Amino acid sequence: MADGSRERKVRGRKIATDREQKERRWAKKRLRSNGAADASGSASSAGSGDAGDADGLMSPEEAAPDPFVRTDEIEALSDRITGWMAADQPVHLIGPTGAGKTALALAAAADRGRPVVWINGDEAVDTAALVGAHAGAERYEEDDQYVSGVRKHTEIVRERWVDNPLSVAAREGATLVYNEFSRSPPAAHNVLLSAFEEGILERPGKRGSERTIDVHPEFRAVLTSNTIEYAGVHRPQDALLDRTVGVHVGFYDEETEREIVAAHTDLDEERIERVVEATRAVREELDGDVVVGTRAAITAARGLVVFGSDDADDATLADVLADVLAPKVAGEDDLRGLRDRIESAIA
Ligand SMILES: Nc1ncnc2c1ncn2[C@@H]1O[C@H](COP(=O)(O)OP(=O)(O)OP(=O)(O)O)[C@@H](O)[C@H]1O
């Protein structure tokens, strides 16, 4: 097994080992959750009624994926995304599972140098999950001294409102990264329409002048969706698609996939070349019956670190790739068929 503390280099840059990367990600998350706790604490003690406003706001450094490989192909895509954001257009990244949409969206968002807010699409996401909701009652006391010797003591109870990611991003001029947005029911996204087009965000649940937010001029959004899900269960409303530009992300070229795998594992160059070549051959052979993303290549490489002999023979490689792709097939017969197709692809 490879030495986890060894220094590796990609395109001349030292990259961290898997363990170092994990530790850095963990530290970033800790920082974020501590920051959110502090922010909500100070907001409520100030009695703003908007406790938890800063929840979910990440600095560009925190949001930037680590590691993030930038080959010419990735730079070109990234430039398109940041270019459209500069033109004040919400961007919709569409592509197959494990192709690199999330990493690209976060990197482009971080490149803007503005705070980033993240939300994951889900069946349970509704308008409140995007804009915010009342979260119980808040009680505080006021003491006023009107004239010398006359005091008035008032106990005030009011509903506590918590802004959710879209409101936070719209108010702070952050970049909203809405991952797998097409997993959420389309009706939840009606609030995005006027936020994108008219610069006004409605917060149903709030009353009076607080019902709407004037969207910060630096607010931007990057939405990602999976090619299959996008065409499937929750087809987003045309009105929303009409307000975005689409950037299709396919699987990267071989050199890019090699560099990505190298950035995530401690495998030597020769076996990285072999695992990427095999993954690409299997991808072609399976032709969409089972989606084989760059994530599969990374996982297979991690498998080879543990199970592989020095030269990564075909049988071990086939075993590893079969395990990596096995969760995507249903029964014994499918699994046998998968294994046969993997073997013939990498032979
Ligand atoms: N440019 C890159 N540099 C380093 N790692 C990358 C890069 N692009 C993708 N990856 C890695 O490849 C894997 C898949 O990428 P990612 O999660 O972004 O794909 P995705 O298309 O969003 O997948 P899904 O549809 O499953 O969410 C992840 O482990 C990610 O860290």
ipTM score of complex: 0.99
Longest dimension (CA), the chain: 94
In this prediction, residue 208 carries a pLDDT of 85
Higher pLDDT, 21 or 131: 131
How many angstroms separate the CA atoms of 213 and 33, rounded? 26
Residue 346: CB partners within 8 Å, gap ≥ 6?
278, 281, 282, 314, 317, 318, 321
In which band, very low, low, confident or very high, does the pLDDT at 60 lie, cut at 50, 70 and 90?
very high
Mean pLDDT, residues 145-161: 77
Centre of ligand 1 to C-alpha 304, Å, is 19
Best of 120, 260, 292 for a ligand 1 pocket test (most atoms within 8 Å of beta carbon): 260
In this prediction, residue 2 carries a pLDDT of 39
How many angstroms separate the CA atoms of 101 and 83, rounded? 17
How many angstroms separate the CA atoms of 11 and 222, rounded? 28
**pLDDT tens profile 246-298:** 999 999 999 999 999 999 998 999 999 999 999 999 999 999 899 999 999 99
C-beta of 103 in contact with ligand 1 (< 6 A)? yes
Higher pLDDT, 98 or 31: 98
- Phi then psi for residue 11, to 5 deg, are 50, 45
Centre of ligand 1 to C-alpha 161, Å, is 35
Residue 23: CB partners within 8 Å, gap ≥ 6?
none
Centre of ligand 1 to C-alpha 73, Å, is 14
* Cβ atoms of 301 and 277 closer than 8 Å: no
In this prediction, residue 18 carries a pLDDT of 61
Centre of ligand 1 to C-alpha 346, Å, is 23
Residue with token string 């971080």: 110
**pLDDT tens profile 88-114:** 999 999 999 999 999 999 999 999 999
C-beta of 68 in contact with ligand 1 (< 6 A)? yes
The yes-or-no verdict on residue 329 having pLDDT over 50 is yes
Residue with token string 């649940």: 205
- Mean pLDDT, the chain, as a whole number? 84
The yes-or-no verdict on residue 309 having pLDDT over 60 is yes
Tokens representing 220?
A: 């931007």
- Which of 39-43, 49-53, 139-143 shows the highest mean pLDDT? 139-143
In this prediction, residue 96 carries a pLDDT of 93
C-beta of 99 in contact with ligand 1 (< 6 A)? yes
Tokens representing 200?
A: 């006004």
How many angstroms separate the CA atoms of 338 and 327, rounded? 11
Nearest CA to ligand 1 atom 9: 100
**pLDDT tens profile 17-29:** 566 666 666 666 5
In this prediction, residue 103 carries a pLDDT of 97
C-beta of 100 in contact with ligand 1 (< 6 A)? yes
C-beta of 236 in contact with ligand 1 (< 6 A)? no
In which band, very low, low, confident or very high, does the pLDDT at 145 lie, cut at 50, 70 and 90?
confident
The yes-or-no verdict on residue 11 having pLDDT over 60 is no
In which band, very low, low, confident or very high, does the pLDDT at 156 lie, cut at 50, 70 and 90?
confident
C-beta of 121 in contact with ligand 1 (< 6 A)? no
Atom number of ligand 1 nearest to Cα 293: 14
The yes-or-no verdict on residue 62 having pLDDT over 50 is yes
Higher pLDDT, 225 or 233: 225
Torsion on CA atoms 78, 271, 306, 263, rounded to nearest 10: -20
Mean pLDDT, residues 48-70: 76
Tokens representing 217?
A: 């001029």
* Cβ atoms of 221 and 171 closer than 8 Å: no
Count CA atoms within 13 Å of residue 144 on its CB side: 6
C-beta of 227 in contact with ligand 1 (< 6 A)? no
**pLDDT tens profile 187-214:** 999 999 999 999 999 998 888 888 999 9
